């Protein structure tokens, strides 16, 4: 199975300016889910920027998620596709109660296998491994590979494995994970659209090399 791609944006302060950077990336057809992160600190401040990006993202056939806002119902009111919860805790239960079954809910910040299994017992849509920690550091790719392989082998719920660079994509594609997450580093590349297209080529080549006799 060739994994799909999940793109995480840097904090967006100017939605219109960022839209110009994002549109060529979406036009590659390689992105299936976008986690849009905003510099706004309140739901009221978030409303305008999120609405500005929603149309271009959803028109591209991409699901648009945001980090869980203060009021989870804000996501449904704005017509977004769902939320990402950054760590286990009561916020996950609150999101499930407010948004299921109509919206996507995923979770990251899973420090141990037990955390992932507990989250997976709830009515959510994915677990994420390997994303940057609050201090900006990223777990070793070998750890993310191990977690993604373990999850993909045992559980049917999709998992998202975070790639900190293009080099990590090949190793993660071999795990059986359903999604590979590409981070804000994509937008630091000289050609973000080509970077995303290359990630897809690398993942496809790895999967096909495993299935070809």
Domains of the chain: which residue ranges? 4-211
Reported confidence tier of residue 212, pLDDT bands at 50, 70, 90: low
Single pTM value for the model? 0.96
Cα separation, 31 vs 179, whole angstroms: 10
Q: What is the pLDDT of residues 63-99, one digit of tens each?
A: 999 999 999 999 999 999 999 999 999 999 999 999 9
Cα separation, 35 vs 160, whole angstroms: 12
Judged against a pLDDT cut of 80, whether residue 213 lies above it is answered with no
Cα separation, 92 vs 106, whole angstroms: 9
Reported confidence tier of residue 211, pLDDT bands at 50, 70, 90: confident
Beta strands 104-107 and 31-36 are unpaired
Quote the strand ranges of 76-156, DSSP E.
82-85, 104-107, 126-129
What topology does CATH give the domain 4-211?
TIM Barrel (3.20.20)
Mean pLDDT over residues 21-41, rounded?
A: 96
Q: What is the pLDDT of residues 175-192, one digit of tens each?
A: 999 999 999 999 999 999
Judged against a pLDDT cut of 80, whether residue 115 lies above it is answered with yes
Cα separation, 51 vs 53, whole angstroms: 5
Judged against a pLDDT cut of 70, whether residue 207 lies above it is answered with yes
- Range 99-129 burial, b when 16+ CB lie within 10 A, else e: beeebbbbbbbbeeeeebeebbeeebbbbbb
* Residue 189: count of CB within 10 angstroms of its CB: 13
């Amino acid at each position: 199975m060739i994994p799909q791609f999940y793109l995480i944006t840097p904090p967006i302060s100017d939605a219109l300016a960022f839209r110009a950077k994002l549109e060529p990336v979406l036009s590659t057809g390689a992105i299936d889910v976008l986690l849009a992160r905003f510099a706004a600190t309140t739901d009221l401040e978030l409303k305008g920027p999120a609405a500005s990006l929603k149309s271009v993202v959803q028109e591209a056939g991409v699901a648009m998620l945001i980090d869980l806002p203060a009021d989870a119902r804000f996501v449904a009111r704005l017509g977004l596709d769902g939320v990402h919860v950054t760590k286990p805790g009561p916020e996950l239960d609150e999101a499930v109660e407010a948004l299921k079954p109509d919206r996507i809910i995923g979770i990251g910040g899973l420090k141990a296998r037990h955390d992932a299994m507990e989250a997976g017992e709830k009515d959510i849509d994915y677990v994420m491994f390997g994303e940057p920690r609050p201090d900006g550091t990223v777990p070793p790719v070998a750890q993310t590979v191990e977690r993604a392989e373990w999850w993909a082998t045992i559980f049917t719920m999709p998992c998202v494995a975070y790639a900190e660079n293009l080099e990590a994509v090949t190793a993660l594609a071999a795990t059986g994970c359903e999604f590979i997450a590409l981070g804000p580093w994509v937008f630091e590349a000289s050609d973000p659209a080509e970077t995303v297209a290359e990630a897809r080529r690398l993942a496809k080549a790895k999967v096909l090399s495993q299935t070809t006799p």
